[in-house]
Structure 1
Amino acid sequence: MHTQVAIIGAGPAGLLLGRILQSHGIGTVILERRSRDYVLARVRAGMLEQGTVDTLREYGVAERLDEMGVAHPTMQFLWNGVRRDVPLEDEDGRRLTNYGQSYVVEDLIKHREADGLPIVFEAEVSSLDGIEDSPSVTYSVDGETKTLTCDFIAGCDGYLGVSRRSLPGAEAASYLKEFPFAWFGILAEATPNPHTRGFSNTPRGLAVSSARSATRSRLYLQVDPEFDITSMSDDEIWDELDRRLSDQDGNKVTRGPIIEKSVARLRAFVCEKMRHGKLAIAGDAAHIVPPSGAKGLNLAVGDVRLLGEAIRRHLLDKDDALLDDYSRLALERIWPTVHWSCLMSEAFHTFPGQTEFDTRRQHQTLDFWAHDEIGNRWFREAMLGLPYAV
């Protein structure tokens, strides 16, 4: 089998890149290690920047987003038992929208399948070869080894995927920070309470309450990295969320059936080598952000907008200037966003051995973001996201 662009990974980055290239008449095949059911069932963050929403509209995959997306006009902070609202919408009308990443993936998959374009699920990629001039992908399906030849490979297969490992020099150009805690996340069939949406800094640790739709809530608790999700009953989970998210007015999260639980370690990661020859990486293959900034999906959109245009020029115009500049341009958006997500983590989490001095420094940061005009503007612009390179 041959295609113009082989895309490794059917997450948001790979699926959206396929959609972008499709709009230019460029053929793609997407190879995904997991099953279709697994991919559709994955629950991830869902706070979309205005640029992400506009991009999904631009490429015709935002019908359900426009129907179900929940506006996020303010960010709520809770510390010392008092809640403060920080406005997020700017003078140009940009705002954040809550819409689950699983919905974004489902929308992209259904549009691709409706157009008769291939996604090969349960395809285990073993090697990427010939990336200097004649690329190919070796993979197996149902125990049968196959080869996909192509003109270019886009690696959108996540932090543990084969694509980054196939980039010469990637390991030496990689930077990692591990945080000493994890997030225990739940998805609940519960109408989000608008008075408890946001981040809480407490001596017991961080808590987060957000909306995934008008009827679903996504909530998190800071936990030990080795936390066992079976160690707390549902009632105990809700009780702990109340302890960390209740405010001076007695507002509490809305309870409901918990339909999904997960634990995620917090790390920050950047690989500055994002392209070599006819292989480029994007999304989680190139960078990981702590979830406190809600930037992972949004960063991936910036990557694939840039990469899609670079591939278009490479294949159709025989112009490699943008492709040669891909890493530098992408990193101009990646590093400030990763830095911001780390600042958010440092401001809200309780660290091992934290002193009262450390806590008061955190509160000073939150005061600056919530009450100072300059700090408020800085926070708002960081949350709304940096402009795209293309």
Structure 2
Amino acid sequence: MKTRVGIVGAGPSGLLLAQILHNEGIPSVIIEHRSRDYVLERIRAGVIEPGAVATFVEHGVGDRLLCEGLPHQEMQLRWNGQMHRFNQVDEDGRQLTTYGQSAIVRDMIEAREAAGLPILWNAKVDTVEDIEHAPRIHFTRDGQAQTLDCDYVAGCDGFWGVTRGLIPDIDTHMFLKEYPFSWLGILTQSAPNPDKRGYAHSLRGMAVASSRSNTICRHYLQVPPETDVNAWSDDAIWDELDLRFADEGGETLNRGPILSKDVVRLRAFFCDRMRHGRLFIAGDAAHIVPPSGAKGLNLAVGDIRILAEAIRRHVTAGDSGLIENYDATCLQRIRSTVHWSNRLAQTLHIFPGQTDFDTQMQMTTLNKWAHTEAGNREFVQSALGEPYPV
């Protein structure tokens, strides 16, 4: 089997890269370790920056997003018994959109299938040889060893994937932080309460209330790192959410059946080396941000825009400039976004052994974001996202 670009992973990064390349007339094959159903059922965050929305629309996979996505014009922040509303529409009319990541993945899979383009499901990549000159991907599918020859390899296989480890000495180029807490998340069939959304800083721990649609909500509680999700009853989760979101208004979240619940450990990490020879890593394979910033998908879109353009220039004009500067170009946005996401995590969560001094410093930051022009601008612009360099 042979193609121009071998893409490892059928998540948002791999699918978007394949879509952009297809629009440019550059063939690709996607190799995905999991099944189609598994990929479609993964629950991920759904807050999409305006630049990412424009990217999906530009490349023909944004029609449903525009029709069904919920405008995210306001964000609420609660702390110390008070609540502040941030207007998240800037002077240019840019705003966030809520649209589940599983939905955008579905849209891209359906677009690729409608075009008759290949996704190899249940195919486990074993290794890639001759990365420097003529890559050959070795993978196993249906119990049989197979190969894919290509000119470029895109590692879009996530934090636990195989491709990052193929970059020599990658351990010396990785920067990782494990946070001392997890998030207990629920997906619930309930209408969002417009007066109870956003972040809550509480001495009991952080909480998040968000919506996926007019009938589905996604809420989170900060919990200890080794929490057993089954130790929390549905009523206990709702009660704790109401306690953490309590303010002088006295409103509570709208309750409903909990469709699923899980516990996710929080970490932040990035690589300052994202390329070796003709192998490039992107998305979660290259960086993870704590979910408090809702930046994972949006960072991945930035990587893919750069990678797709680098490949296009090399294929059509023999221009290797952007390929050679791929990681440096990506890192301009990655570093600042990881920094913002980490700052949010440091400000909104309660840490083990936290002192009154630490809490007062958090309050100072929250008050600055809410009550100063510079702080408000920083919060809103960071939420909306930096412009993509390419």
State TM-score, norm by structure 1: 0.99
CA distance in 2, matches of 1:190, 1:142: 41
Deviations for 1:351-382, whole angstroms, at most 9, x for unmatched residues?
00011111111011000001111100011111
Say whether residues 1:15 and 2:15 are aligned partners.
Answer: yes
- Determine the structure 2 residue equivalent to 1:169: 169
Bigger shift: 313-322 or 197-206?
Answer: 313-322
Bigger shift: 217-226 or 313-322?
Answer: 313-322
- Determine the structure 2 residue equivalent to 1:179: 179
User: Does structure 2 conserve the Cα–Cα contact (< 8 Å) formed by 1:72 and 1:98?
Assistant: yes
- SS across alignment from 2:127: strand
Correspondence 1:1-390 to 2 at 5 A = 1-390=1-390
- SS across alignment from 2:163: helix
User: Does structure 2 conserve the Cα–Cα contact (< 8 Å) formed by 1:68 and 1:214?
Assistant: no
User: Does structure 2 conserve the Cα–Cα contact (< 8 Å) formed by 1:3 and 1:148?
Assistant: yes
Bigger shift: 169-178 or 358-367?
Answer: 169-178
1:246, CA displacement in angstroms?
A: 2.7
- SS across alignment from 2:177: strand
CA distance in 1, matches of 2:197, 2:120: 39
| Equivalent residue letter for 2:378 | W
1:251, CA displacement in angstroms?
A: 1.6
- SS across alignment from 1:162: coil
1:176, CA displacement in angstroms?
A: 0.5
1:169, CA displacement in angstroms?
A: 2.9
CA distance in 2, matches of 1:251, 1:31: 48
Bigger shift: 339-348 or 231-240?
Answer: 231-240
1:316, CA displacement in angstroms?
A: 2.0
| Equivalent residue letter for 2:312 | R
| Equivalent residue letter for 2:251 | N
- SS across alignment from 2:122: coil
5+ residue gaps, structure 2, are none
1:252, CA displacement in angstroms?
A: 1.3
CA distance in 2, matches of 1:173, 1:342: 19
CA distance in 1, matches of 2:239, 2:150: 54
CA distance in 1, matches of 2:293, 2:368: 17
1:52, CA displacement in angstroms?
A: 0.6
1:160, CA displacement in angstroms?
A: 1.0
Bigger shift: 242-251 or 29-38?
Answer: 242-251
| Equivalent residue letter for 1:260 | S
- SS across alignment from 1:39: helix
- SS across alignment from 1:2: coil
Deviations for 1:245-278, whole angstroms, at most 9, x for unmatched residues?
1321112111111112121111110101111111
- SS across alignment from 1:196: coil
CA distance in 2, matches of 1:129, 1:192: 50
User: Does structure 2 conserve the Cα–Cα contact (< 8 Å) formed by 1:81 and 1:248?
Assistant: yes
Deviations for 1:62-105, whole angstroms, at most 9, x for unmatched residues?
12111211111121111112211011111001111111111111
CA distance in 2, matches of 1:237, 1:127: 43
1:12, CA displacement in angstroms?
A: 0.4
CA distance in 1, matches of 2:169, 2:94: 38
User: Does structure 2 conserve the Cα–Cα contact (< 8 Å) formed by 1:46 and 1:101?
Assistant: yes
User: Does structure 2 conserve the Cα–Cα contact (< 8 Å) formed by 1:268 and 1:289?
Assistant: yes
User: Does structure 2 conserve the Cα–Cα contact (< 8 Å) formed by 1:169 and 1:273?
Assistant: no
1:108, CA displacement in angstroms?
A: 0.6
State TM-score, norm by structure 2: 0.99
CA distance in 2, matches of 1:243, 1:135: 55
Superposition misfits of 4+ residues, deviation over 6 angstroms: none
User: Does structure 2 conserve the Cα–Cα contact (< 8 Å) formed by 1:156 and 1:285?
Assistant: yes
Deviations for 1:135-166, whole angstroms, at most 9, x for unmatched residues?
01111112111001111100000011111000
Deviations for 1:227-261, whole angstroms, at most 9, x for unmatched residues?
11100111111111111113211121111111121
Deviations for 1:176-204, whole angstroms, at most 9, x for unmatched residues?
11110011111111111111110000011
CA distance in 1, matches of 2:4, 2:335: 31
CA distance in 1, matches of 2:243, 2:34: 38
CA distance in 1, matches of 2:194, 2:128: 48
CA distance in 2, matches of 1:367, 1:75: 15
Bigger shift: 289-298 or 262-271?
Answer: 262-271
| Equivalent residue letter for 1:262 | D
| Equivalent residue letter for 1:83 | M
User: Does structure 2 conserve the Cα–Cα contact (< 8 Å) formed by 1:182 and 1:266?
Assistant: yes
5+ residue gaps, structure 1, are none
Q: How many residues end up aligned between the 2 structures?
A: 390
Deviations for 1:296-354, whole angstroms, at most 9, x for unmatched residues?
00000000000000011112211111100111110000000000000000111000001
Over aligned residues, Cα RMSD in angstroms?
A: 0.8
Deviations for 1:189-222, whole angstroms, at most 9, x for unmatched residues?
1111111110000011000001111211010000
User: Does structure 2 conserve the Cα–Cα contact (< 8 Å) formed by 1:170 and 1:272?
Assistant: no
